[in-house]
Amino acid sequence: MAKDIRNFSIIAHIDHGKSTLADRLLEYTGALSAREMTAQVLDSMDLEKERGITIKAHAVRLEYDADDGRTYILNLIDTPGHVDFSYEVSRSLASCEGALLVVDATQGVEAQTLANAYLAVEHDLEIIPVINKIDLPSAEPDKTREQIEDAIGIDCADAVLASAKEGIGTKEILEAIVRKIPPPTGEDDKPLKALIFDSWFDNYQGVIVLVRVFDGKISAGQKIRQMATASVYEVAQVGIFSPKMRPVESLSAGEVGYIIAGIKSVHDTKIGDTITDAGRPVSEPCPGYKDIKPMVFCGFYPTSTHQYENLRDALNKLRLNDSSFSYEPETSLALGFGFRCGFLGLLHMEIIQERLEREFDLSLLSTAPTVVYRVTKSSGEVIFIENPSLLPDKYEMIEEPFVVTTIFVPKDFIGPIFDLCQEKRGVQRDFTYIGKDRIKVEYELPLNEILWDFYDRLKSLTKGYASMDYDFLGYRESDLVKLNILLNGEAVDALSLIVHRDKAYYKGRQLTEKLREIIPRQMYEVVIQAAVGSKIIARESVRPLRKDVIAKCYGGDITRKRKLLEKQKEGKKRMKQVGKVELPQEAFLAVLKIK
Amino acid sequence: MPEYLYIHIPFCVGKCLYCDFLSIPFDEALAERYVNALCGEMAMRKDSAGTLRTIYIGGGTPSILSDKLFSTLFACLKANFLFSSSAEITVEANPGTMSGSAVRHMASLGVNRISMGAQSFDDDELRTLGRIHSSREAILSAGLIRESGFENFSLDLMYGIPGQTITTWRETLSQAVSLRPKHISAYELTPEPGTRLYELIGSGRLVMPDEDSIMEMLDAGLERLSSYGYEHYEISNYALPGYRCQHNLNYWDRGKYIGLGAGAHSFSKDIRSQNLGDITGYIECLERSELPLEKSAPIGPEEAMREMIFLGLRKTEGMALHTLAASGLDIPGCCADLLDEGYLRIKGNSLCFTQKGLAISNELLVRIFGRLGL
């Protein structure tokens, strides 16, 4: 049976047409009738649709009647398209034998395409290049083909020319999947070995785990063990998505499907972990398991204290479905009670914040994102700092996370990229021409430096042509200092930063200037200072408010004027009182707006 | 029942740059239909009014109406409402729109107060504002008003005009007091969204004086007018003793009133309502003998308290402490710091803003509301 199965993923850069192609495959194979198709079925969360990004991986079983007269089972394993989720991508790819590499014929190869394509190569996947959007007048299929060959080193002679939007090439893609991607190997008789590549929480059924079975068989009633967590569960149901959930009797070697086993929380399953039979375990788990940890942290505080409980409940609910997101209660002198939250990256952070505000109707204040610093105290004890204000005054050594950043850029824009990476404390590691007019550069950069405005500046310096990706390298010692911001002489913990010593002066000046613009005039003068240790390095002030009055107020105007005051009152509600100073929310993100 | 009546005349010679009131260019035939519509509205609403203490005919430019239409308007007023000869009856007028005979005609009808929009006595500033008259015309008009027997007249002045300086403002103030009005309104010019002025400032073609200059002008006005015996009784209003505008004081005391005419507002029994703002729509509605109501909304108890506070504290006399206490509003108790820091003060049995407090009264009101839980 396994010889009629094909397991594959689609890898593509954002907007290169992955979701549209997936829809087209579903439609063509009759998994969904045209009537049932809502645009982009696989991206089921609203946010995913709005941002055009796939956040959660899914797996759909398609049945395809091929030209050779046989009916094949095709398992399409969807992958997230963003660098923040690259570990999840790698686990999805590990569950496949092949991948469609979708490249937009008008855009060419981008950094993410490359990163994911390399991942696919590492996993020995059969890669089928698909050159998409060939219906567009600006499509350059030949040039795109050449770029794929140069950058990834795969033969593109047989690349499928397609337009997912227009339905061109759909059948050719399905035929290529059947002919080129090898069927899964593995034996039903061997001990069970299944890779968890995704999981989520369902209100009615508990945790649903997506697996790829490599060896053995899994069916209801079976006792299973998760090897990394060493926990044992009894399987209640196994099934597939077609694309609706459909229970089946068993999942055999080579198959992809879901398991429901009375697991209460997604934190009790780890993506990348191996499931085996509790009574007849496999000796070696699937390779590549990592316990992933959040890379980026920020504080979330309710703007009004009475929302604290609601925020905690909301964080708890989101965490049910997102094992890569963490939170811990924390207290800030300036902001009161809140939570320090950890994310895989900035996008992940933005998504969580947006969901908290939108789905749970919370008004939140977030502090500037920070990386995790490794600090060796004088006593030799090593601590991790996720909140700059907690950096001790004295320590032996401070280290920060470094990443290797891959940037893809047309050669005309390479100059500004060098300057940008230089400014961000980068060290060049590689420089390669891809084709005649594109360059791939690799830089080792502190993660902290690319957190803030790196991506936006990269885009604006290159008129949007550059793309980037990054991968964690490790911790390295740096000459870092804590930059404190004082308002009327009082340090505001939620505004402190850890910065490189060489940049402290510049950042302090920029930040105080920015805060002067952001902080509205109030009844009293507000003095804004930046300090490193006890040394003041910059000072600005906001003049006190002298005039704020409605000049004319007669009969007809009364309602309008009253509303004006009410609006002003609402505005005040969104401010955070820090001592005698009222700070708007933007103040806490001011640091993101400076270069 | 309301004892204060407002009548809106929405016609002007032209629109001033800063104007966000309801007005359209004057048209004799339309004005006649409009006055007839007003008479119709009076007939429909007369029963909801008590004996009138004030009548205020505002605009627009009411002085643009012909003698004949004024006669019709007053005949209708007398036919529908009760008011004594001691009632304060004000007509708004603009320089350049009135003759001596017209002013005498108004007097003969019972008008006893004229409020003239002089705005400035600097011709450059008048042009900037888009006014249709010169400073000389304003001076002549003021003379004419006084000669026609109107002892009680008021002048509207503005400060904070683009191009205005403390010197030109002092000259305007001097000129104004030399005309011996009983009352002066001195407003800070506020560019309202939707006006030409707002656009011109937004696009940088006009520049407002800076805040320090405006504060200096405010102080200069206060000082100059006080020295001539004018009492500062509301944020933007000054009067010689006994000449405060009763009609406007009623708004700040949150009293009831009836507003007639297109776009006019009324307030009664904790309901604020507004007439149709579309002039033709207003006329046609009354020609069908229907009430020209556009919207009407009840004011909840908390809104009512906010109104009472923000209106009452506009007066330099402030609000009686017992009135506040009766509504359970302990402002002195919850705002001790604002009293200590000299933004609020207690004068006799009243609570009021100080001059420093009035200048930032919005900020202070918002704080006061917050502390009162309003």
List the one residue out of A498, A503, A587 whose CA is nearest residue A542: A587
ipTM, interface predicted TM-score of the complex? 0.90
DSSP 8-class letter at A376: E
Closest chain B residue to A520, measured at CA: B363
Contact B155, B243 (CB under 8 A): no
Query: Choosing among A547, A562, A573, which should be mutated to test the B contact, i.e. which has the most B CBs within 10 A?
Result: A547
Residues of chain B with C-beta less than 8 angstroms from the C-beta of A562: 303, 306-307, 310
Residue A346 sits at the vertex; the CA angle it makes with A341 and A347, to the nearest 5 degrees, is 110
Question: Is B353 within 8 Å of chain A by CB?
Answer: no
How far apart are alpha carbons B303 and B326 in whole angstroms?
16
What dihedral angle (degrees, nearest 10) is formed by the CA atoms of B309, B314, B316, B317? -40
d(CA A363, CA B325): 35
Instruction: List the single residue in B with minimal CA-CA distance to A572.
Output: B366
Q: In chain B, which among 268-327 make CB contacts under 8 A with chain A?
A: 272, 274, 297, 303, 306-307, 310-311, 314
CA distance A146 to chain B (A): 51
Check: pTM over 0.80? Answer yes or no: no
The tens-digit pLDDT sequence of chain A (595 residues) is: 678 999 999 988 877 888 888 888 988 988 765 555 555 454 455 544 444 333 344 788 999 999 999 999 999 998 776 667 778 888 889 999 999 999 999 988 887 777 788 888 888 899 999 999 999 999 999 999 988 888 888 888 889 999 988 989 999 999 999 999 999 998 999 999 999 998 888 878 888 999 999 999 999 999 999 998 889 999 999 999 887 888 999 999 999 999 999 998 888 888 899 999 999 999 999 988 887 778 889 999 988 888 999 999 999 888 877 778 889 999 987 788 999 999 988 778 888 988 898 888 898 888 888 999 999 999 999 999 988 989 988 899 999 999 999 888 888 899 999 999 999 999 999 999 887 778 889 999 999 888 877 887 888 888 777 878 788 899 999 999 999 999 999 999 889 999 999 989 999 999 999 999 999 999 999 999 999 988 999 999 999 999 999 999 887 788 888 888 999 988 887 788 888 899 888 888 787 777 6
Of residues A547, A556, A566, nearest to B360 (C-beta): A547
Q: Which residues of B47-86 are buried (b: 16+ CB within 10 A; e: fewer)?
A: eebeebbbbbbbbbbbbbbeeebbebbbebbeebbebeee
Q: Map out the domains of chain B with their CATH numbers.
A: 4-252 (3.20.20.70), 301-372 (1.10.10)
Is A344 in contact with A294 (CB distance < 8 Å)? yes
d(CA A104, CA A110): 9
Q: What pairs with residue A218 in β-bridges?
A: A251
Distance of CA A547 to the CA centre of its chain: 46
Testing the interface with A: which of B265, B361, B363, B369 to mutate, by most A Cβ within 10 A? Answer: B363
Tell me the C-alpha distance between A243 and B294, whole Å: 54
Cα–Cα distances (Å) from A39 to A16, A28, A32, A33, A36, in that order, read: 16, 14, 12, 12, 9
Residues of B in contact with A561 (CB under 8 A): 310
Å between B139 CA and nearest CA of chain A: 24
The residue of chain B nearest to residue A570, with distances taken between CA atoms, is B366
CB contact under 8 A, B369 and A550: no
Which of A549, A553, A568 shows the shortest C-beta gap to B359? A549
Q: Which of B263, B360, B370 minimises the CB distance to A549?
A: B360
Separation CA B355–CA B361 (nearest Å): 10
Instruction: Give how far Cα A572 sits from Cα of A308, A546, A576, B86, Å.
Output: 19, 18, 8, 47
Residues of B in contact with A570 (CB under 8 A): none
β partners of residue A112: none
